[in-house]
Structure 1
């Protein structure tokens, strides 16, 4: 076997993992390249391709330490990155240069890759979105600073920048477990969480608020275009719904996350 050809084939397989599937289906292609198919471990090469992609994403560790530690403890990082490498290779996608964009691409992939029936993957999906949200409202925030507008408008609107996530676990509880001497992921409670990540205009980092379902739904509808009446209709209408909307909006206003119309603010 020509050593130069072998090295070229190995390099091509790592750089373009979709070739590994082709060679597995059609070993004769390797023979045409001057490489003995029986002497090439395609499964091992696939894992090595995953390792190289994992290394490419090491810069994300600073903002996503819990996610990477969980991947390591659960022994899923190489397989996950190998699948990610294959995914991007088949679609001929280049890897983004900025940390924020690279993280966004990874999360887009994980949205379909995650199997919620597998506890460690479900926990990963929660914690990586948690850390991504904090980073996007902190060191990864990419927007031109605008003048703070606290003027009262006809419709309730958000003040600052908000990201909302529904999780199946609390990443803060996971963090406590991950740094024990013998992490046991089965002991991390699975309990729905409605989290709001908020960066106020005067702040340089995100605050994390735990909401009930009503508060989460209410914030998700605030676009500066819906009136209180419209918000009330979204909740079914009626006096009880209007009272619930008004109470919720006033509570958010006290926190500073919502700017209210005068008629709501005065009551």
Structure 2
């Protein structure tokens, strides 16, 4: 009979190898024969548990993100999604590390790209996690903006954003969601439904403004680049199949200008 310490050494060696190479772990999970071909004994190892442990290890490596998007991490933990999510993300995270992209903002962008593909849009908890990430990500991008590139204008009648503006369609009120996460409150009272929120920072000296807008206003802001007039934006919307009229467009643009979201 083989000494127990030899068996334990093999298990430790297998664990180290799989944690160092998440892609190998994925291959082993999809094809158990790969594990034995690598020189390990499958009967001594629980690959499913190792996958979760790899998720925990990946999560720990992303503690610097927790500082920047704390509510996203808090919510993932509360919903018990963090370990399954990071277990799935481990291969992409390892590839990012290998490429040398270790800056926090690079890691957040990569994590967000993966999260967008990982979530199930039909899953309420997944939608909350996606809302929370985008809410914090928008604020982080605006807070770090340098305002070095000012948007160009063709002159009068060409609306353009005031400062830097981002927007998303959320499944709930992200401000209420953040409060519930920070206070450990219930999610049941949070306003639900497709809600568009704009995030704006007018200049380097300004704070971030966040407010709800209707879907038309959100689309107008995305098309208002300082080079297209109201008539051109109207034609673009009609070309996309949206039933808008000139008077409706002018009224919406006027409101956005009054709110200091757009200028001409």
TM range, smaller chain: 0.7 to 0.9
- Partner of 1:135 in structure 2? 140
Change (3 A) 1:172 1:242: same
Q: 1:256 aligns with which of 254, 260, 263?
A: 260
Matched, 1:164 2:167: yes
Deviates more, 1:33-42 or 1:100-109: 33-42
TM-score relative to the length of structure 2: 0.83
Q: Separation in 2 of the partners of 1:64 and 1:102?
A: 12
Q: Which moved more, 1:95-104 or 1:63-72?
A: 95-104
Deviation, 1:36, is 2.2
SS at match of 2:245: helix
Unaligned runs of 5+ in 1: 261-267
Change (3 A) 1:42 1:154: same
The alpha-carbon deviation at position 129 of structure 1 amounts to: 0.4
List per-residue Cα deviations over 1:118-138 (Å, max 9, x = no partner): 111110111100110001000
Distance 2:131 2:46 in 1: 35
CA distance in 1, matches of 2:226, 2:150: 17
CA contact (8 A) 1:61 1:68 kept: yes
Matched, 1:100 2:105: yes
- Name the CA distance, whole Å, in 1 between partners of 2:252 and 2:94: 47
CA distance in 2 between partners of 1:146 and 1:235 (Å): 27
SS of the residue corresponding to residue 38 of structure 1 reads helix
| Match of residue 16, structure 2, among 11, 14, 26 | 11
Confirm or deny: 8 A CA contact 2:139 2:208 kept in the other structure: yes
CA distance in 1, matches of 2:22, 2:94: 6
SS of residue in 2 equivalent to 1:233: helix
Provide the alpha-carbon RMSD of the alignment: 2.9
Report the counterpart of residue 74 of structure 1 in structure 2: 79
Task: Provide the aligned length of Structure 1 versus Structure 2.
Answer: 255
Contact 1:235 1:241 in 2 (8 A): no
User: What is the alpha-carbon distance in structure 1 between the residues aligned to residue 245 and residue 60 of structure 2?
Assistant: 51
- Of 224-233 and 143-152, deviating more is 143-152
Counterpart of 2:193? 191
Q: How much has 1:29 moved relative to structure 2?
A: 4.2
Partner of 1:109: 114
What is residue 44 of structure 2 aligned with on the other side? 39
User: Cα offset for 1:163?
Assistant: 0.9
- 1:200 counterpart (186, 199, 202): 202
Deviation at 1:193, TM superposition (A): 1.0
The equivalent residue for 1:265 is none
